[in-house]
Amino acid sequence: MPVDIPYINIHTHARSTDSKHIEIVNVMVSHQPPQDGYFSVGLHPWQLAEGRWSEGLKGIGICRNHPRLLAIGEAGIDKTINVSLDFQNEVFRNQVLLAESWRLPLIIHTVRGVNELIEMHRKLKPTMPWIIHGYNGRATIAENYLRQGFYLSFGKSLVRPNEALKSALQICPDDRLFLETDDAQIDIIKVYEAAAAIRGIEPEALKDLIYRNFVRLFGERIA
């Protein structure tokens, strides 16, 4: 364990200038990986176009042996977009299989897709971790994810949380918790401070447990 424990930002769209932060920057399949730091790559539901998803998967494949690729994603299910649910499920399933083949965790975007994700998890029985990013739902939904073995990552909503989100954060076990900034113009430190206050622990203790989670999930690739 390092003396100065870094802040872990499990999902962001912009690289921080602070060298004390460890981040996984999300990369679109049409973009080049960042010149430094860790990244994830995947087909976001918003990117899907009927009949072209196989090209997107090939784009992910280009990154297969990149030494700084830590996760597949963000991938997932979004019921608010004009893309058929069957098609979204097909593309998501292929990314799950890719994550399993490459031995990488999966970072998930979902809007109203909890039942589909849990059913897919039950069917495929993945061995790699699934991380729901930007979680801002109720504790009852969080419990459903947690029972299935998911990890939860909380973000900017913690700065001005409602009571339902506070409860969801409070029930999340220490070993299933991550924090993030996503696409928000906010410092990850602010998210940590808000999360620590809600959970009733010191920020340094929160840094320690999230760092341990990060090493446990990604240790082989960050060594």
The pLDDT value recorded for residue 110 is 95
Distances from the Cα of 124 to the Cαs of 121, 139, 156, in angstroms?
5, 25, 31
The residues, any chain, with a CB within 8 Å of residue 213's CB and separated by 6 or more, are 8, 151, 174, 175, 176, 177, 178
Measure the CA–CA gap between 179 and 159, rounded to whole angstroms: 12
* pLDDT tens track for 15-40: 887 777 999 999 987 667 777 889 99
Given the structure tokens 């690289």, which residue do they identify?
15
pLDDT tens figures, 105-152: 999 999 998 999 999 999 999 999 999 999 999 999 999 999 999 999
CB 3 within 8 A of CB 208: no
Is the preceding omega at residue 74 within 30 degrees of 0, hence cis? yes
Residues 6 or more apart whose CB falls under 8 angstroms from that of 135 comprise: 142, 145, 152, 153, 154, 155, 168
CB 60 within 8 A of CB 98: yes
Please report the pLDDT score of residue 138 as a whole number.
95
Predicted confidence at residue 1, as pLDDT, reads 43
72 membership: H or E segment, kind and range: strand 69-78
Q: What is the pLDDT of residue 118?
A: 96
Q: How many CA atoms lie within 13 A of 75 on its CB side?
A: 30
What would the pLDDT profile of 153-199 be if each residue is shown by its tens digit?
999 999 999 999 999 999 999 999 999 999 999 999 999 999 999 99
Interatomic CA distance for residues 28 and 51, integer angstroms: 18
What pLDDT score does 189 carry? 95
Q: Confirm if 187 and 23 have CB atoms less than 8 A apart.
A: no
So what's the pLDDT on residue 221?
Answer: 73
What is the C-alpha end-to-end distance of the chain, expressed in Å? 12
- pLDDT band for position 54 (50/70/90)? confident
- State the chain's mean pLDDT as an integer: 92
Return the SS3 of 217: helix
